[in-house]
């Protein structure tokens, strides 16, 4: 087992660290409080090639491995978690097309997705289905050379700024089990019958609009079916979610690290009872637990990323990483507020933002309860008697 990063991985990490310190940290609190989209930062990420970081070089991507990707996302999230969210949904769309799309789809979409000219968004979640994805109500009915999509999607990241959507809908509503009837489609934003609905106000994860998608007799060409076979959509998206959960786990590590780094700095500067508060055992215990959790969470995340690099199934490892780091991030952010005391509850310091952002992780990209189910199922397969 080798824990040494390659030269390429170290270069990716340092590039992201410098970019975060220069472009993200100086604007994060202001843009968060104003709920303002960081358009200039997103454009600069496109210039760096980050919109195609894990996509194949032959289609304009950078072709980086998933360990590099996790390191980059952690660094960006140390500055502001919302920025990394711009990349997550986008790259899951790119991943699905790159791995399951037809050659024509790859040629048509991937170069612009890699450059950031096309911004991807994933239309999966529905208000009534939630974690029970197979019970989605959206349908796509074949009509000659087209599919006609009807339905609604909820809590969609990148909906406002995205222009290329991977949408899941049922092409067979009778088949059992239900997931065999779900297919995946590419839908361009300007397609008639497709509208981005209301903006959903959130506790955290500011700056990046989360919206509803509405499909009313939205007609798309049959060639927009991802791949060449119906009923494969859920398989495609579940494999994409392995990448998404690596992203979310790395984001959670980044937020926890931000809370720790701000807190250990503050604890050395803040004096109470004639000494820095870092000299008090209660504060030292908090810092020790935060740092230990961050190291453990990072290793879990990199283990999942390394397994993905090898082309192996990693839903168990990605689920473990996502579960652990989600809970870690909330706890570390809460401890950060405790260390900052009254100031931690104000907007004068960033720790209140870290907590609001951290609350997304146990819910988004599969709840902690869903992660436990995924983990348990895989463990029962692994240890079957």
Residue 126 belongs to a domain with what CATH number? 2.40.110.10
Helix axes 25-34, 351-358, angle to 10 degrees: 70
- Verify that 366 and 284 share a domain, yes or no: yes
Give, in order, the Cα–Cα distances in Å from 344 to each of 140, 274, 333, 336, 348. 49, 21, 10, 7, 8
Backbone phi and psi for residue 35, each to the nearest 5 degrees, phi listed first: 50, 50
Task: Give the Å distances, CA to CA, from 341 to 54, 111, 276.
Answer: 41, 49, 14
Instruction: Name the DSSP class of 23.
Output: I
Give the residue carrying structure tokens 């992780």: 361
- Note the pLDDT of residue 186: 98
Say if residue 131's pLDDT is above 90.
Answer: no
Which residue is catalytic, options 40, 160, 365, 369?
Answer: 365
CB of 165 closer than 8 Å to CB of 121: yes
Residues 185-203: what's their mean pLDDT? Answer: 96
Per-residue confidence (pLDDT) for residue 154, from 0 to 100: 96
pLDDT at 377: 96
The reply to whether 1 falls in a domain is no
Q: Are both 190 and 290 inside the same structural domain?
A: no
Question: Could you identify the residue written with the tokens 């609905």?
Answer: 197
Picking from 195, 210, 231, the residue at the C-terminal end of a domain is 231
Task: Verify that 263 and 360 share a domain, yes or no.
Answer: yes
Q: Is 365 a catalytic residue?
A: yes
Asked if 82 and 208 touch (Cβ cutoff 8 Å), the reply is yes
Residue 1 confidence (pLDDT) above 80: no
Give pLDDT, residue 2. 77
The domain that holds 52 is classified in CATH as 1.10.540.10
**Tokens read off for 75:** 């660094």
Domain boundary among 81, 115, 149: 115
**17-38 pLDDT, tens digit each:** 999 999 999 999 999 999 999 9
Q: Considering the domain boundaries, does residue 214 fall inside one?
A: yes
Question: Within a domain: residue 76?
Answer: yes
What is the rounded average pLDDT of the residues 266-286? 97
The reply to whether 261 falls in a domain is: yes
State the Cα–Cα distance between residues 205 and 157, nearest whole angstrom. Answer: 10
How far, in Å, CA of 299 to CA of 28, rounded?
A: 27
- On whether residue 86 sits in a domain, the answer given is yes
Domain shared by 12 and 52, yes or no: yes
Is 2 part of a structural domain of the chain?
Answer: no
Instruction: Give the pLDDT band (50/70/90) at residue 3.
Output: confident
- Based on the structure, what is the number of domains in the chain? 3
Tell me: do 263 and 356 sit in the same domain: yes
Centroid of chain to Cα 331 = 20
> Same domain, yes or no, for 267 and 162?
no
Structural domain containing residue 326? 235-382
Q: Same domain for 131 and 156?
A: yes
Position 44 in a domain: yes
Buried b (16+ CB within 10 A) or exposed e, 289-322: ebbebbeebbebbbbbbbbbeeeeebbbbbbbbb
Look at residue 45 and tell me whether its pLDDT is greater than 90: yes
For 322, the token pair is: 């996502």
Shared domain for 39 and 68, answered yes or no, is yes
Concatenate the DSSP letters of all residues of 125-174 into one string: --TTTTT-GGG---EEEEETTEEEEEEEEEEEETTTT--EEEEEEES-SS
The arithmetic mean of pLDDT across residues 206-212, rounded, is 95
Identify the band that residue 164 occupies on the pLDDT scale cut at 50, 70 and 90.
very high
Alpha-carbon distance of 292 to 330, in angstroms, equals: 15
Which pLDDT score, from 0 to 100, does residue 51 have? 98
Residue 314's CATH number: 1.20.140.10
Domain boundary among 185, 204, 231: 231
Model confidence pLDDT, tens digit, residues 317-370: 999 999 999 999 999 999 999 999 999 999 999 999 999 999 999 999 999 999
My answer on whether 138 and 102 are in the same domain is no
| Nearest one of 226, 235, 112 to 162, comparing CA atoms | 112
Report d(CA 362, CA 239) in Å as an integer. Answer: 20
Residue 217 sits in the same domain as residue 195: yes
Q: Is 164 left (phi over 0), alpha (psi -120 to 50) or beta?
A: beta
* Summary mean pLDDT of the chain: 97
Shared-domain flag, residues 218 and 240: no
pLDDT surpassing 90 at residue 130:
no
Q: Where are the beta strands (DSSP E) in 171-283?
A: 182-188, 194-199, 210-221, 271-272, 275-276
Domain shared by 224 and 300, yes or no: no
Identify the pLDDT of residue 311: 94
For 279-301, what is each residue's pLDDT tens digit?
999 999 999 999 999 999 999 99
């Amino acid at each position: 087992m080798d824990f040494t990063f390659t030269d390429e991985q170290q270069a990716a990490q340092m590039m992201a660290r410098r970019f975060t310190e220069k472009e993200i940290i100086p604007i994060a609190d202001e843009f968060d409080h104003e709920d303002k989209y960081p358009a200039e930062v997103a454009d600069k990420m496109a210039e760096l090639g980050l919109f195609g970081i894990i996509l194949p070089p032959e289609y304009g991507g950078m072709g980086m491995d998933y360990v590099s990707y996790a390191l980059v996302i952690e660094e960006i999230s140390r500055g502001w978690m919302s920025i990394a969210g711009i990349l997550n949904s986008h790259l899951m769309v790119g991943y699905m097309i790159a791995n399951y799309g037809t050659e024509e789809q790859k040629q048509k979409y991937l170069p612009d997705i890699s450059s950031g000219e096309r911004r991807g968004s994933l239309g999966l979640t529905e208000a009534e289905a939630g974690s029970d994805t197979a019970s989605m109500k959206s349908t796509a009915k074949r009509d000659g050379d087209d599919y006609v999509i009807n339905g609604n999607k909820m809590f969609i990241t990148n909906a406002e700024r995205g222009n290329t959507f991977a949408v899941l809908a049922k092409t067979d509503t009778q088949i059992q089990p239900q997931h065999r009837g779900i297919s995946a489609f590419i839908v361009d934003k300007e397609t008639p019958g497709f509208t981005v609905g209301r903006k959903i106000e959130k506790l955290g994860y500011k700056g990046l609009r989360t919206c509803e998608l509405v499909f009313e007799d939205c007609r798309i060409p049959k060639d927009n079916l991802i791949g060449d076979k119906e009923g494969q959509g859920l398989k495609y998206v579940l494999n994409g979610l392995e990448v998404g959960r690596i992203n979310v786990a790395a984001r959670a590590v980044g937020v926890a690290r931000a809370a720790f780094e701000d807190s250990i700095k503050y604890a050395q500067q803040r004096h109470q009872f004639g000494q820095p508060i870092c000299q008090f055992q209660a504060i030292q215990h908090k810092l020790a637990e935060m740092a230990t959790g961050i190291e453990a969470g990072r290793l879990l995340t990199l283990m999942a990323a390394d397994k993905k690099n090898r082309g192996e199934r990693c839903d168990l490892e990605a689920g473990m990483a996502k579960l652990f780091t989600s809970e870690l991030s909330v706890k570390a952010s809460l401890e950060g507020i405790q260390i900052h005391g009254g100031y931690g509850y104000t907007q004068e310091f960033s720790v209140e933002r870290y907590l609001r952002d951290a609350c997304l992780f146990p819910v988004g990209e599969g709840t902690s309860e869903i992660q436990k189910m995924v983990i348990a199922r895989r463990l029962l397969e692994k240890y079957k008697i």
